[in-house]
Amino acid sequence: MNTKKYFINALTYLVLILFTLIALYPIINVFTISIRPGDKLLSTSLAIIPDNWTLRQYAELFVKRPFMLWIMNSAIISATVTLTGVALASTAGYALSRFQFVGKQSSMLALLTTQMFPATMLLLPMYIMLIKLHLINSYLGIIIIYSATALPFCVWQMKGYYDTIPYSLEESARIDGCNKWQAFYKIILPLATPALVITALFSFMTAWSEYIVAAQILQDTSLYTLPIGLKSFESNLSTEWGLYAAASLIVSVPVVVLFVVLSKWLVSGLTLGSVKG
Amino acid sequence: MAEVILRNVFKTYEGGNTAVKDVNIHIQDKEFVVLVGPSGCGKSTTLRMIAGLEEISSGELLIDGKVVNEVSPKDRDIAMVFQNYALYPHMSVYENMAFGLKLRKFPKDEIDARVKEAAKILDLEQYLERKPKALSGGQRQRVAVGRAIVRKPKVFLFDEPLSNLDAKLRVQMRTEISRLHHQLEATMVYVTHDQVEAMTMGDRIVVMKDGIVQQIDTPLNLYNFPGNKFVAGFIGSPSMNFISGTLVKEGTLQFISENKTLTIQIPAAIEAKLQNSTGKKVWMGVRPEDFHQVQIEEGKKFEAKLEVVEPMGNEIYLYFPVDGVQFTARIPSREKPNPGSVKELYIDTTKLHFFDAETETALL
């Protein structure tokens, strides 16, 4: 019995280690490339820290390239999309979860329908709309498009989470002295933190790593976001893989940090103990 | 003073489904009124209308002499304890209890004093810093009660507060709530489907069925003088036995069961009241404890062929057919008769109940 348990444990760890390696390999590879000296970029060496390693690529990014500008642009756009996503999805989801109104079902279906088309397919109509609104080449234009892309999913998942929170909590709050708005933001919103975190992460990721839409709408180099900026390292004749690798690593840092910081809020069972389950 | 008056109150949902029909209840100041009835009888809806959580479709609701139909729950000065406790899970026990007072901008010292006083009454002092998830069911329910009493509201509303607790805890909390009622001298409205809770706690009981109030009376009056067949069957456990038959005048007034296997001489004391129903179909009701093992005055002897025998410790329930209907008798537990045996029993005919077969209203 014990041998069998031991064997299963060993096998579990083996599989986990294997998948961890598969997940880590590209990151390690990118890291290695980012610190290789320029003449050894295409080396087949497996050393993680190459001989004559250098931080020249990182320095060049910040000193010679408008990398800081791209980070700023991406940060402004992503933060705005995240805030918009959280503010609108939390309230719209609540309305869809709690209130009965004309057009509730059809509006939910309409939201779902937008998720059925790939972003590339929506690119042309969105582009035309932005031209008519004179929003091409502007923060506002890209923010509207990213928010519109992220919101349907966020609204649905917020609604789904609110549905699991018992009505009696709000009713209790309203008897305790809250009006409807207070019951929402003092009681229900804190309980919906896990869903809010997912909404925030999803909205952020939608904006932070998006390339195709940004490449069409932001043509002014001063408005470039990180993904378009990175792509500019690529040309017909040669690609600056060292810079590309260094930039990719830096770009992924905020995402990793965000996930680590927010993951503690992603716990289920926050409403545990409120009502008899 | 905190009277609660419901005047011709109706609740009709969209789609025409009427949950509460023409309810009239006058709840006195400091009174403990229990709304009781089977599932879907409208008792919770009525309570929620008093709380302001459901709109009143028509009729008037007065709290403390003022019509409050359009007043929001927070301004009605009521507190409510929910069946599922509805504690705020992200707040500690202290914060849960203080929440209502904070919203009403009470000074900090007073909030602290009131919460501590409530915690003392409810024996929650050592749990004040805990979150609800770290409490047992009984403790959570006490926090929910505490959250209500710190507010010192005009009216307390309870919506089946004990139905999620186990049997032992339920009895304990039942007495605690009754004790609180005496201690706080507050008006309380309590909803339950459990007639034992209703009987033991209420100053008066409102029995409801299908959204209609069947009878409002004190527990003992409901038990002894049920207004109709439904109330007679609902109040009392095991419930009243019913048998249909006809009242026939053959010299004296007699009840003859449908299949004519049981004939009962109506005692002179109640004969006059039943005169008008002579020749009519009626329901006769017998409470399980009105069967006796020994000859009594005005006792109707008959032989019961026992089908099931349930010893309860202090008493025994006997199940046997009478005229094709299963009857239950409750007798003191001295010896346990065997199922299948025949036992002589005497029905106390002075304690019989009669109901009109059509309207089901009481004839006595």
Which of A101, A104, A176 to probe by mutation at the B interface, max B CB count within 10 Å?
A176
Query: Please, which pLDDT band fits residue A230 given cuts at 50, 70 and 90?
Result: confident
- Mean pLDDT over the full length of chain B: 92
A276 pLDDT above the threshold of 60: no
Q: Which residues contact B31 (CB under 8 A, 6 or more apart)?
A: B187, B188, B203, B204
Residues B104, A99: Cα–Cα separation, whole Å: 26
Q: What is the CA radius of gyration of chain B?
A: 24
Residues of B in contact with A191 (CB under 8 A): 89-90
Instruction: Give the helix ranges, DSSP H, for chain B.
Output: 43-51, 93-103, 108-121, 137-149, 167-184, 195-201, 219-224, 229-234, 268-274
Residues B198, A197: Cα–Cα separation, whole Å: 46
Span B142-174, pLDDT tens digits: 999 999 999 999 999 999 999 888 888 888 889
Catalogue the E-assigned strands of chain A. Answer: none
Span A164-193, pLDDT tens digits: 999 999 999 999 999 999 999 999 999 998
Residues B342, A44: Cα–Cα separation, whole Å: 100
Instruction: Please compute, for residue B193, the number of CA atoms within 13 A of its CA located in the half-sphere on the CB side.
Output: 10
Q: Which residues contact A99 (CB under 8 A, 6 or more apart)?
A: none
Which of B48, B76, B85 to probe by mutation at the A interface, max A CB count within 10 Å?
B85
Span A245-268, pLDDT tens digits: 899 999 999 888 988 888 777 765
Residue A166 dihedral angles phi and psi, to the nearest 5°: -60, 140
Query: In DSSP terms, which residues pair with A13 in a beta bridge?
Result: none
Per the CB < 8 A criterion, the answer to whether B275 and B315 are in contact is: no
pLDDT given at position A267: 62
Contact yes or no for A273 and B79 at CB 8 A: no
Query: Please, which pLDDT band fits residue A220 given cuts at 50, 70 and 90?
Result: confident
Q: What is the mean pLDDT of residues A223-252?
A: 86
Sequential DSSP letters for B200-211: HH-SEEEEEETT
Residues of A in contact with B78 (CB under 8 A): 175
Would you give the DSSP letter of residue B338?
Answer: P
Residues B295, B349: Cα–Cα separation, whole Å: 12
Residues composing chain B: 364
Both structure tokens of B92? 């500690």
Instruction: For residue B45, give how far its alpha carbon lies from the nearest alpha carbon of chain A (Å).
Output: 14
Sheet of B325-332: strand order equals B308-311, B315-322, B325-332
Contact yes or no for B87 and A273 at CB 8 A: yes
How many CB atoms sit inside 10 A of residue B306's CB? Answer: 18
pLDDT given at position A260: 86
pLDDT given at position A95: 95
Of the candidates B300, B350, B342, the residue with the CA atom closest to the CA atom of residue B321:
B342
Residue B253 dihedral angles phi and psi, to the nearest 5°: -85, 135
Residues B266, B285: Cα–Cα separation, whole Å: 13
Q: Look up tokens 């915690």; give the residue.
A: B119
Residues of A in contact with B164 (CB under 8 A): 276
ipTM over 0.85: no
Nearest to A272 among B74, B133, B137 (CB): B133
Residues of B in contact with A190 (CB under 8 A): 90
Nearest to A166 among B73, B84, B147 (CB): B84
Contact yes or no for A175 and B73 at CB 8 A: yes
pLDDT given at position B129: 94
pLDDT given at position A269: 44
Q: What is the mean pLDDT of residues B91-99?
A: 95
- A vs B, Cβ pairs < 8 A, gives 86
Span B272-326, pLDDT tens digits: 888 888 899 999 999 999 999 988 888 888 899 999 999 988 899 999 999 889 9
Of the candidates B331, B231, B234, B354, the residue with the CA atom closest to the CA atom of residue B284:
B354
Contact yes or no for A276 and B79 at CB 8 A: no
CB contact burial A209-220 (16+ within 10 A = b; e otherwise): bbeebbebbbee
How many CB atoms sit inside 10 A of residue B183's CB? Answer: 10
Q: Nearest-CA residue of chain B relative to A166?
A: B86
Would you give the DSSP letter of residue B362?
Answer: B
Instruction: For residue B32, give how far its alpha carbon lies from the nearest alpha carbon of chain A (Å).
Output: 20
Per the CB < 8 A criterion, the answer to whether A213 and A126 are in contact is: yes
Catalogue the E-assigned strands of B64-101. Answer: 66-67, 78-81
Both structure tokens of B88? 């705020």
Q: Nearest-CA residue of chain A relative to B76?
A: A175
Nearest to A166 among B52, B86, B133 (CB): B86
Span B328-353, pLDDT tens digits: 999 987 788 889 999 999 999 999 99
Q: Does B90 touch chain A (CB under 8 A)?
A: yes
Contact yes or no for A169 and B86 at CB 8 A: yes
Q: What is the mean pLDDT of residues B98-114?
A: 94
Span B174-208, pLDDT tens digits: 998 999 899 888 999 999 999 899 999 999 999 99
How many CB atoms sit inside 10 A of residue B11's CB? Answer: 22
Instruction: For residue A202, give how far its alpha carbon lies from the nearest alpha carbon of chain B (Å).
Output: 25
Query: Please, which pLDDT band fits residue A1 given cuts at 50, 70 and 90?
Result: low
* Domains of chain A, residue spans: 2-54, 66-225+254-266
Nearest to B89 among A175, A176, A274 (CB): A274
Q: What is the mean pLDDT of residues A34-48?
A: 77
Per the CB < 8 A criterion, the answer to whether A194 and A270 are in contact is: yes
Cα angle at A205 between A201 and A207, to 5 degrees?
A: 125
Contact yes or no for A273 and B147 at CB 8 A: no
A272 pLDDT above the threshold of 60: no
Of the candidates B77, B88, B108, the residue with the CA atom closest to the CA atom of residue B3:
B77
Residues B187, B50: Cα–Cα separation, whole Å: 13
What CATH number does the domain located at A66-225+254-266 have? Answer: 1.10.3720.10
Residues of B in contact with A276 (CB under 8 A): 83-85, 137, 140, 164
Q: Please report, for residues A176, B92, B99, B142, the alpha-carbon distance to residue A173 in angstroms, rounded to integers and kept in the order given.
A: 5, 15, 9, 17
Q: Distance between terminal CA atoms of chain B?
A: 37
A277 pLDDT above the threshold of 50: no
Q: Please report, for residues B39, B233, B241, B298, the alpha-carbon distance to residue B262 in angstroms, rounded to integers and kept in the order given.
A: 34, 21, 14, 15
Both structure tokens of A104? 């509730």
